[in-house]
C-alpha cells in the first residue's frame, strides 16, 4: 500500500540545511497497523507527512497503492488526498462548527454528494465512532476522547484507504487512550484500512500495531513485527523504549541483581506457552529453586506474553537451563 524508495527530506531554515529524514526505504502492506516510534525530533512527523505529501520529499519516490505520488500535479494531488485521512494530537476541529459540520467538511469540499446524502453519511460516521446524539454539539462541549472521535469520523468521511495518526492519543489520559486505540483497531479490522501511527510510547505500539519501525536521528534503526521487536529489541533506542514501558531502570536492576546469588535468567513466553506450567515441572525434575526478581504478563495486540527474571539456586541448574532451552520459551542467561 505504501512504498518509500530512497526517500529523504531536508528542511532549509534561514539558509541552513536541516536533515530530517535520511534516505529511507519502507514498505507498508495493505490492512496493516504500522507504528513509528521515536523520541522528539527523530523524524516521525516528517515521514508521516510525506505519505500524503503534506511535506514534499527532497529526493526519492513514494508509491501509494501503485501510484507514484511524487509525480502528481495539483489536481491529481487533491484527488489522491481523499484516499488518505489524518488525525492529530490536538484534534484540529473547527470550534465555530458543530460536530456534524466538522465531519461533513471533507464531503462538502469533495463536492460529490448532495445535502441529504452528506447528512446520512455523517450520521453513519458518528454512529461508527460512538457519538450518535452529539451531532449538534460544539467541540468545546466535548471531552478530549470525544473530540478525537470526531477527528476520526472526519478522517473517515471520504472512505480513505489509509489513515495517518499523528500522536493521536498523546493528549489523552490512559483510559481514554485505551478506548481510542480500541476504536482504531476496530476500524482497521472492519474497514481493512491501512493505519500508520506515530507515537513516543511503546504502550501504544504494543496495543494496536502489527509492525513497528523505530526511528532515531532521521533513520529507521529497527523494524519488524511488534512481538519480535518488543520482546527481543536489538538497537539501543528500542531497548530504552521497552525498558521505559516496563518501568525498569537498568542501573537499579544491576544493583538489585548484585544482592542475589545463583544464575540469573530471563524467560520470555509467547502465546500458549504463557500459560504452560513449565516452571513447576522443571523445578521438580531438576531440584532447582527460583527467586522471582521481575515479572510481567501482558498482551501484544491479541497475543499474550510473559516475561520473568529468575535467580536459580540449588539442584541441577545446568540441566534446568537445558530444559528451558528445549521448551517453547526464549531464554537469556543474564548472569
> Do the Cβ atoms of 183 and 72 come closer than 8 Å?
no
| CA 38 vs CA 3, 5, 28, 47: distances in Å | 20, 21, 18, 12
* Position among 7, 20, 150, 265 found at the interface with ligand ADP (CB under 6 A): 20
List 35, 37, 38, 168, residue binding ligand ADP (CB under 6 A): 38
Is the separation of the CB atoms in 130 and 183 below 8 Å?
A: yes
Please choose, out of 40-48, 178-186, 295-303, 323-331, the segment that lies near ligand ADP by the rule CB under 6 A: 40-48
How many other CB atoms sit within 10 Å of the CB of residue 6? Answer: 12
Nearer to ligand ADP, 54 or 243 (CB): 54
Q: Could you tell me the smallest distance in angstroms from the CB atom of residue 314 to ligand ADP?
A: 49
Check residue 43 for interaction with ligand ADP (CB under 6 A): yes
- Helices 144-156 & 174-191 angle (0-180, nearest 10): 20
| Closest CB to ligand ADP among residues 13, 74 | 13
**Residue 40 interacts with ligand ADP (CB under 6 A): yes or no:** yes
Q: Is 309 in the site for ligand ADP (CB under 6 A)?
A: no
Among 42, 107, 168, 172, binds ligand ADP (CB under 6 A): 42
Q: Which stretch binds ligand ADP (CB under 6 A): 12-20, 183-191, 237-245, 321-329?
A: 12-20
* Three-state helix/strand/coil letters over the chain: CEEEEEEEEEEEECCEEEEEEEEEEEEECCCCEEEEEECCCCCHHHHHHHHCCCCCCCEEEEEECCEEHHHCCHHHHHHHHCCEEEEECCCCCCCCCCHHHHHHHHHHHHCCCCHHHHHHHHHHHHHHCCCCCCCCCCHHHCCHHHHHHHHHHHHHCCCCCEEEEECCCCCCCHHHHHHHHHHHHHHHHHHCCEEEEEECCHHHHHHHCCEEEEEECCEEEEEEEHHHHHHCCCCHHHHHHHHHHCCCCHHHHHHHHHCCCCEEEEEEEEHHHHHCCHHHHHHHHHCCEEEEEEEEEEEECCEEEEEEEEEEECCCHHHHHHHHHHCCCEEEECC
Q: Which is nearer to ligand ADP, 46 or 286 (CB)?
A: 46
**Binding of ligand ADP at residue 41 (CB under 6 A)?**
yes
CB of 318 to ligand ADP, least distance (A): 46
- 41 or 76: whose CB is closer to ligand ADP? 41
Of the residues 8, 24, 32, 45, which one makes contact with ligand ADP according to CB under 6 A? 45
Q: How far is the CB of 200 from ligand ADP (least distance, A)?
A: 8
Considering the rule CB under 6 A, would residue 17 count as an interface residue with ligand ADP? Answer: no
Work out how close the CB of 320 gets to ligand ADP at its nearest, in angstroms, rounded to a whole number. Answer: 44
Q: Which of 44, 128, 147, 206 binds ligand ADP (CB under 6 A)?
A: 44
For ligand ADP, give the closer residue by CB, 24 or 286.
Answer: 24
CB under 6 A: which stretch of 38-46, 99-107, 127-135, 146-154 binds ligand ADP?
A: 38-46
Nearer to ligand ADP, 89 or 268 (CB): 89
Which residue, 46 or 146, has its beta carbon nearer to ligand ADP?
46
**Which residues face 297 on adjacent strands?**
306
Using CB under 6 A as the binding criterion, the count of chain residues that bind ligand ADP stands at 12
Q: Which residues are near ligand ADP by CB under 6 A?
A: 11, 13, 18, 20, 38, 40-46
Amino acid at each position: 500500500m505504501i512504498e518509500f524508495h530512497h526517500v529523504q527530506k531536508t528542511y532549509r531554515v534561514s539558509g541552513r540545511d536541516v536533515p530530517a529524514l535520511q534516505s529511507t526505504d519502507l514498505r507498508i502492506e495493505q490492512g496493516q497497523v504500522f507504528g513509528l516510534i521515536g523520541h522528539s525530533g527523530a523524524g516521525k512527523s516528517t515521514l508521516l507527512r510525506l505519505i500524503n505529501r503534506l511535506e514534499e520529499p527532497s529526493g526519492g519516490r513514494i508509491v501509494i497503492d501503485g501510484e507514484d505520488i511524487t509525480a502528481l500535479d495539483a489536481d491529481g494531488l487533491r484527488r489522491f488526498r481523499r484516499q488518505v485521512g489524518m488525525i492529530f494530537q490536538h484534534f484540529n476541529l473547527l470550534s465555530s462548527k458543530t460536530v456534524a459540520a466538522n465531519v461533513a467538511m471533507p464531503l462538502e469540499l469533495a463536492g460529490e454528494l448532495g445535502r441529504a446524502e452528506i447528512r446520512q453519511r455523517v450520521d453513519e460516521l458518528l454512529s461508527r465512532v460512538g457519538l450518535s446524539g452529539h451531532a449538534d454539539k460544539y467541540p468545546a462541549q466535548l471531552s478530549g476522547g470525544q473530540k478525537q472521535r470526531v477527528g476520526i469520523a472526519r478522517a473517515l468521511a471520504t472512505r480513505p484507504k489509509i489513515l495517518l495518526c499523528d500522536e493521536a492519543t498523546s493528549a489523552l489520559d490512559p483510559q481514554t487512550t485505551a478506548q481510542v486505540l480500541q476504536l482504531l483497531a476496530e476500524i482497521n479490522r472492519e474497514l481493512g484500512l491501512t493505519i500508520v501511527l506515530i507515537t513516543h510510547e511503546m504502550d501504544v505500539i504494543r496495543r494496536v500495531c502489527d509492525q513497528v519501525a523505530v526511528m532515531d536521528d532521521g533513520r529507521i534503526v529497527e523494524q519488524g513485527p511488534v512481538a519480535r521487536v518488543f520482546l527481543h529489541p536489538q538497537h539501543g533506542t528500542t531497548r530504552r523504549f521497552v525498558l521505559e514501558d516496563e518501568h525498569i531502570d537498568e542501573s537499579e536492576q544491576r544493583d538489585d541483581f548484585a544482592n542475589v546469588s545463583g544464575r540469573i535468567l530471563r524467560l520470555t513466553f509467547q502465546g500458549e506457552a504463557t500459560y504452560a506450567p513449565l516452571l513447576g515441572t522443571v523445578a521438580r525434575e531438576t531440584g532447582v529453586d527460583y527467586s522471582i526478581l521481575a515479572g510481567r504478563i501482558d498482551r501484544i495486540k491479541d497475543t499474550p506474553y510473559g516475561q520473568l527474571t529468575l535467580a536459580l539456586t540449588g539442584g541441577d541448574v545446568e540441566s534446568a537451563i537445558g530444559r528451558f532451552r528445549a521448551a517453547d520459551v526464549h531464554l537469556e542467561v543474564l548472569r
